[in-house]
Amino acid sequence: MTQVDFYVLDEQASGNRYTLACRLSEKIYHQGRRILIHTATAEETRHMDRLLWTYRQGSFIPHGTAGDCEPSVTPVIITHEEAAGDAEHDVLINLCAEVPGFFSRFDRVAEIIDKEPQVVTAGRERFRFYRDRGYPLNKHDIR
């Protein structure tokens, strides 16, 4: 069954959910795992693509956007399309307000919540969705 982890930035934390997605991607990548970052729009996909190149000096996370990279050799794929990344099943980082329809094919799902009120509200709804269906949940407070 898919393990779901909620990463919640507290009020004193610096950054936002996009920078936290970069931090998580780096950590998960160094564990030898594959990642699909699911965004809500093409603009967010481009933003994450740029951010993964620049978010931290000296960091390198091999990544690409779905359709523009070779999935078999690219450990981090970013997409806003439901059908993209069909072969991926390891870790899903969800940056969308809704639960992706394909989340259950992944071993792990990372839900990232920052301080924005609409993100917090949508995160609570996703938490209830997973909880009501019996998925194992963890919450990590990020300072």
CATH number at 32 reads 3.40.50.10110
Q: Is 90 exceeded by the pLDDT of residue 49?
A: yes
* 12-34: average pLDDT: 92
* Domain range for 104: 3-142
Residue 89's Cβ-count burial label (10 Å; 0-12, 13-18, 19+) is middle
Return the higher-pLDDT residue of 37 and 85. 37
Residue type, 67: G
pLDDT level of residue 84 (50, 70, 90 thresholds): low
What is the chain's Cα-based Rg? 14
CA distance to 20, 45, 57, 95, 114, per residue, from 138 (Å): 17, 26, 30, 17, 16
Q: Are 30 and 62 in contact (CB under 8 A)?
A: no
Q: Give the mean model confidence (pLDDT) for residues 6-26.
A: 90
C-alpha to C-alpha distance for 18 and 112, rounded to whole angstroms: 9
Instruction: Report, as an integer, the average pLDDT of 72-77.
Output: 90
- Region 56-73: mean pLDDT is 86
Residue 84 identity (one-letter amino acid):
A
User: Residue 87's pLDDT band (boundaries 50, 70, 90)?
Assistant: confident
Domains held by the chain: number: 1
Judged against a pLDDT cut of 90, whether residue 48 lies above it is answered with yes
d(CA 88, CA 8): 25
Answer whether 49's CB lies under 8 Å from 106's CB: no
